[in-house]
Amino acid sequence: MIRSGQRILLVGEERKYFLKAGNGTFSTDRGIINLDEIVGAESGDVIQSHNGSEFVILLPRAPDFFEYAKRSGAPMLPKDIGLVIAYTGMNRNDRVLDSGTGTGIAAIFFGGIARDVTTCEVRPDFARIAEANIKDACLDNVEVVTSDILGIQGLFDIVHLDMTIAPDHIRHAHSVLKPGGYLACYTPFLEYLFSVIDVAEPLFSELKALECMEREMSRTKRGTRPSTRVGHTGYLTIARK
């Protein structure tokens, strides 16, 4: 049952709205929607605007937060987050340390899978945005810490870095990883990739560097072909302790 203040996704004809249930009305070009009528509904229920236009009520998932949540910068794309999850084998037993929270999108994806996530963000304004997004995602197993990762102690199964990575960050990640645990580093340029590899290679038993290229399919009346948009975003280094 949907509660007042809970994030919802309203899907109508060629329209999507990322809203909160309750607290008045919302005006669209397809009519005015009474948000109070959404409180108590279930995902999949249908609500009508004042002029009879229908909208399906859905509970947002992690990709919806990537698309619609408030941003503090450019988050990692789902394709790269998916590589981190796949190559580390992230699962419900894992404790994850994430650094470079930003908008909190990666932490939201990780929080839906792992046992718990500690995510570090050095900028207080970014941390506040991430906290709000994580709260909207209804994840009580994700904690935002306004700190550099160097201030975090404990033992973790996975450490993920999406930030300006210094050698000390790699060494600290190694020190807080459990044996058999994984480090995943996202770097936007080859020079940063090489600096990560140079520090990590002597410390870790396994290491691989990856690039994931993505091409959407474009379908028109003339036919279907790959989009010409370039699908490169960055590089991933996956290392195992």
User: How high is the mean pLDDT of the chain?
Assistant: 94
Can you read off the two tokens belonging to residue 136?
Answer: 């909207």
Q: Give the residue, 74 or 122, on which the prediction is more confident.
A: 122
Where is 160: in which H helix or E strand?
A: strand 156-161
Cα–Cα distance, 65 to 67 (Å, whole number): 5
Looking at the DSSP bridge assignments, the partners of residue 34 are 25
Is it the case that residue 230 has pLDDT exceeding 80?
Answer: no
* pLDDT at site 18: 95
For residue 174, the surrounding DSSP H or E stretch is: helix 167-176
3-state SS assignment for residue 18: strand
Q: What is the mean pLDDT of residues 127-153?
A: 96
Residue 185: what pLDDT?
98
Give mean pLDDT, residues 132-153.
Answer: 96
pLDDT given at position 130: 96
Note the pTM of the prediction, 2 decimals.
0.92
Average pLDDT over residues 203-209: 96
pLDDT tens-digit readout, 165-193: 999 999 999 999 999 999 999 999 999 99
Domains of the chain, CATH where assigned: 7-58 (3.10.330.20), 64-240 (3.40.50.150)
Residue range 20-29, pLDDT digits in tens:
999 899 898 8
pLDDT greater than 90 at residue 74: no
Is the per-residue pLDDT at 63 higher than 90? Answer: yes
Number of CB atoms found within 10 A of residue 160's CB: 30
pLDDT score of 228 more than 80 = no
CB contact at 8 A, 58 and 67: no
pLDDT of the residue at 36 = 93
